[in-house]
Amino acid sequence: MRNVDGRELKQASYAQLKSIAEELREEIFRTVSVCGGHLSSNLGTVELTMALHRVFDFPRDKIVFDVGHQCYSHKLLSGRAEAFHTLRREGGISGFPKREESEYDCYGTGHAGTAISAALGIAKARDLLGEDYEVIALVGDGSFQNGLIYEALGSIKELKTPILIVLNDNGLSISPTHGGMHDALERMKEGSSEDIRLIERFGVTYTGPVNGNSFEELIPALETAKNTLKEGKCVLLHAVTRKGLGYPFTEMRPSETHGVSPAPVKSEYATAIGEELCRLAERDSRIAVVTAAMTDSLGLRPFFERFPTRAFDVGICEEHASVLAAGLAAAGMRPFYAVYSTFLQRSFDEIVHDVCLQKLPVTFLVDRGGLTGEDGETHQGVFDFSYLSPIPNLAVATPKNIAELRKMVEKSLDWGVPLAIRYPRAGNEGCADEVEFGKFEVLHSTMSDIIMLAAGERCLAIAERVLGMAKRRGMDFTLVNARFVKPLDGEFLANCPAKHVITLEDNVLAGGFGDAVARFLRGSGKEVRAFGYSDVFIPHGPADSLRRKYGLSEEEIFACVEEIYARG
């Protein structure tokens, strides 16, 4: 679509604003249909973003988008309309705010709960450096469950710097929002002055609620808020929006249309997780499931429906989820905490301190492990092997296919240790033999002096292609399903006759599987060559293209095999 900017919005009539809103909505819908992306969250915030661009002066004023998956209108209104058709494509517009992409993106996000802290920091820097601009944090009600938001709210009185917090209340995280604060927000919407004073205890002036899809309500409210900021006060504007507004399909299914994929995916690991947990829970009453606002995308819906008393969605609270699971395990349950790899980072300390130090039998089901692709830097699951492997008492497994994931989930009940099972979003069902704790599986055995250890389905697929290339040229190597990144199969490695060991992992090289294998084999005389991702944040693009570019290319791995052969 054409570029519309803040100046045009400032001069537009309400009727013109509504017409521009329709243009934005159509552009978002059309682009997401082709490129994938976040649909319902962006459709719901069109008017709110336009009103902010009308009342404030970006990029002079600064806006921080919590999570950032609602920034499409902002991008369309800040000189990126013509490039918007490249959304989430390699080298194109990112699906999240990104400092290096535009001066209008003053702060990058992707995970929940950071916006108020970041806005306070920016505002405080403004004060200290003697500058003069306004700072806005746009935060969804889902993030109001997240602990970081409370840490930030708790420091407002101390920091004494005015910011505008726009609470975008659509009643949903990705799953519906609930819990103590949600109830309070609901009562605020009904005008409960006591609940309003609750939030004002933190040192903010409450305004609202306003209809966040109505320019008539939003614009005067934002102008009033702007004046209150000038008095040196923090303002919280409570804007009630309708997630998915504009299309019957998205309005009726805001959760299902939160994230949209342009093409159907293969079998989802998540579906198997749901099936397997239900099957096991039928006969084992100790099994419980914990999630942080991701019931559907993690495949847990069937479990929540069949075993509601043992299913816990704690909202966007990854830390609390880990400790709750630890508590359940400490008192005799067998909890499974399903979470995306990138969000599990938020509870690193709790994995160490609560689960592993106490050797509690919590199983982390780490979905979206490895490159995730189009969501970009903030969502790649390429650090988990590295931050999980140094934790004592923790086992880290990664299945070769969905069938093996099922076996691992079942066997985890016997193993009874802290365990992370890490898998990508999609893969093949396949079939699998019994999985033994800490044991590799040889998939193709040869007399060659080369052995390839591949961790997880994606790497095994790469390894098999390399094996095909090698065989066509008369070369060969032993191929191993490295089911356990930790503990390594020490017996296998110690007795393995091959002199050259090649490792493949869908993870950064630093601190990953290859490092662990090399550490184990140090002094053995064996040569280790590790393939994985280089030490950079990997931007958005198709996962398959990115993995080649950042360290996992069949050609390079094959060249390594060839070179070893050439040396004799």
Q: Rule CB under 8 A: which of 283-322 touch a copy of itself?
A: 285-286, 288, 309-310, 312-315, 317, 319-320
The stretch near a copy of itself (CB under 8 A) out of 12-20, 31-39, 331-339, 433-441 is 331-339
Say how far apart CA 320 and CA 256 lie, in whole Å.
25
Minimum distance from residue 75 beta carbon to a copy of itself (Å): 17
Q: Which is nearer to a copy of itself, 192 or 267 (CB)?
A: 192
Q: Of 21 and 204, which CB lies nearer to a copy of itself in the complex structure?
A: 204
Facing residues of 454 across strands? 481, 504
Q: Which of 191, 262, 390, 497 binds a copy of itself (CB under 8 A)?
A: 390
Strand 478-481 relative to strand 527-533, pairing: unpaired
Write down the least CB distance from residue 437 to a copy of itself, Å: 16
Task: Find all residues with CB under 8 Å of 380, minimum gap 6, and list them.
Answer: 342, 370, 371, 372, 537, 538
* Contacting residue, 1, 357, 417, 461, with a copy of itself by CB under 8 A: 357
For residues 513 and 367, give the distance between their C-alpha atoms in angstroms, rounded to a whole number.
18
Strand partners, 334: 287
CB-nearer residue toward a copy of itself: 315 or 369: 315
* Residue 479 Cβ vs a copy of itself, minimum distance, rounded to whole Å: 21
Q: Tell the burial category of 472 from Cβ atoms under 10 Å away from its Cβ (0-12, 13-18, 19+).
A: exposed
Instruction: Identify residues 211-240 at the interface with a copy of itself (CB under 8 A).
Output: none
Nearer to a copy of itself, 335 or 399 (CB): 335
Total binding residues toward a copy of itself, as defined by CB under 8 A: 117
- Please identify which residue in 91, 523, 566, 568 interacts with a copy of itself, judged by CB under 8 A: 523
Which listed range, 11-19, 126-134, 246-254, 276-284, lies at the site for a copy of itself (CB under 8 A)? 126-134
Q: Check if the beta carbon of residue 247 is closer than 8 Å to that of residue 29.
A: yes
CA distance 566 to 343: 44
Q: How does 352-371 read in b/e, with b if 16+ C-beta sit within 10 Å?
A: bebbbeeebbbbbbbbbbbb
Can residue 497 be called a binding residue for a copy of itself (CB under 8 A)? Answer: no
417 binds a copy of itself (CB under 8 A): no
Catalytic hit among 318, 350, 374, 404: 318
Among 91, 190, 535, 566, binds a copy of itself (CB under 8 A): 535
205 binds a copy of itself (CB under 8 A): no
Catalytic status, residue 318: yes
Q: Per the structure block, which two tokens stand in for 189?
A: 């919407």
Query: Distance between CA 336 and CA 364 in Å, rounded?
Result: 6
Least Å distance between CB 291 and a copy of itself? 12
From the CB of 19, what's the least distance to a copy of itself, in Å?
35
Per the DSSP assignment, residues forming a β-bridge with 396 are: 420, 486
Residue 248 binds a copy of itself (CB under 8 A): no
Does 416 help bind a copy of itself (rule: CB under 8 A)?
A: no
Based on the shown chain and the rule CB under 8 A, indicate whether residue 75 belongs to the binding site for a copy of itself.
no
Considering the candidates 25, 75, 98, 243, report the single residue annotated as catalytic.
Answer: 243
The reply to whether omega before 539 is within 30° of 0 (cis) is no
* Nearer of residues 333 and 443 to a copy of itself, judged by Cβ: 333
Determine if 325 is a binding residue for a copy of itself (CB under 8 A).
yes
Does residue number 509 form part of the binding site for a copy of itself (CB under 8 A)? yes
* Residue (of 189, 142, 466, 480) closest to 316 by Cα position: 142
Out of 141, 217, 268, 354, the only residue in the binding site for a copy of itself (CB under 8 A) is 354
Of 363-382, binders to a copy of itself (CB under 8 A) are 377-378
Query: In the structure encoding, which two tokens stand for residue 47, read together?
Result: 């008017």
Amino acid identity for residue 536 in this structure: V
For residue 342, give every residue at least 6 positions away whose Cβ sits within 8 Å of its Cβ, in sequence order, or none. Answer: 110, 111, 368, 372, 378, 379, 380, 381, 383
User: Which of 124, 411, 439, 499 touches a copy of itself (CB under 8 A)?
Assistant: 124
Question: Using CA atoms, how far apart are residues 261 and 265, in angstroms rounded to an integer?
Answer: 8
User: Does residue 20 contact residue 48 with C-beta atoms inside 8 Å?
Assistant: no
Name residue 20's amino acid: I
CA distance 130 to 559: 57
Site for a copy of itself in 134-193 (CB under 8 A): 145-159, 178-184
- Contact between 352 and a copy of itself by CB under 8 A: the answer reads yes
In terms of Cα–Cα distance, which of 101, 104, 95, 100 is closest to 72? 95
Near a copy of itself by CB under 8 A: residue from 53, 111, 258, 425 = 111
Residues recognised as catalytic: 243, 318, 346
